[in-house]
Structure 1
Amino acid sequence: MAKKNDIQFQQIIEAAIFASDTPLTIEQLQSSVLAEFALSKRKISQLIKKIQLDFDPRGIELVKLGSGYRFQTRSTLSPWVSQLWQEKAPKYSRAMLETLALIAYRQPITRGEIESVRGVAVSSQIIRTLQERGWVKVIGHKEVAGRPALFATTASFLDYFGLQCLEDLPALIEDKLSEQITSH
């Protein structure tokens, strides 16, 4: 193939990320659509930064998430864009959201530890729903009697909530749950 310039490389990267069903990492781009060009990770990163700048004034943006890069609509435009979908976002119970928050902020954590903080039993349905959504997974077992499962969040959790890493989680607000989370 003929020698490509940076604009052509940017077009390839942009098209690949746009066409992909899932976020793409620099490594995935390097080993697939850019494999024949032997570009360094640093060079690909520079090209991605240029694409991000090119999209800065637009309604969509190229964002880095926990599992790679994807295009998405700007969150500031969601009041208008959300009108395209008639279905409502799923509603999650307070119990499910508290359980997810505990897993996110205290991981790895056992079901018993979640129950101890919340003061009530965690239903199997809540854990199953969080696993089916791909937001949490079992990452091992605690070395205590009964060897309870240890739960942690996944890259899908980060992607869904628009986070690159767990450090991007918002600071806990001062309420009863955050006091419980931080006091244990």
Structure 2
Amino acid sequence: MPVPPALSRPHRRPPNPQNPPTDIDLAEATSFEMACTLAFAGQEAPPPWFAHALEHAIGPLRNDIMSIRNDITNMQADIQASQQRQADSQRCAARAYNWQVQLGDRSPFEEVPWRNGTYPWGFMFHNQPLPELTSTEVVRALDDQQSQQYYQGYYPGVNVPENRNERDKATLIAIGVPAMVAGIAFERDGRRETEKQGATDDERR
């Protein structure tokens, strides 16, 4: 029997279900089963009267498939909205906690999601996971690319400052560290660099 045109090209199969299957897994499996049924329907040479009867029988199936697809789309949108709300709640709670722990030298910072809902700790960037920003020391130890990536995550659509200390200070503020504390952390870092440079100059003399 010839292969129906709908199946003569690679037919998209649903991904393997989770264990146990979710509602989306069941809906996609049902949709795939109906699509296969429709692909084979009408391939035989039916009597003239059969086409109308078949269309009458399959019509509701087509409607069911469209309804299931719409339901899947709506469920995915609801899941994304729920994840975004959860990330927004986590952002508020984590920033409030980080405000209290100040430098994070006694109690580590909590993770603050980016604006788009992404949790950045361990996020793969240039084949390397981003560091967990548990203290001001960790933020100050970021390399240039990591510093830029964190800044872009917390300030999407904003031009990235060239000065790394400025970027990292803004990142500390974004995760809840008071602006004054963040400023002190990098002023101290600047003094250290000045002292190091002065010692180097003395050695050269």
Same fold (TM over 0.5): no
Relative contact order, higher structure (CA 8 A, sep 6+): 1
TM-score by length of 1: 0.23
Name the one with the larger strand percent: 1
Give the structure with the higher percent helix.
2
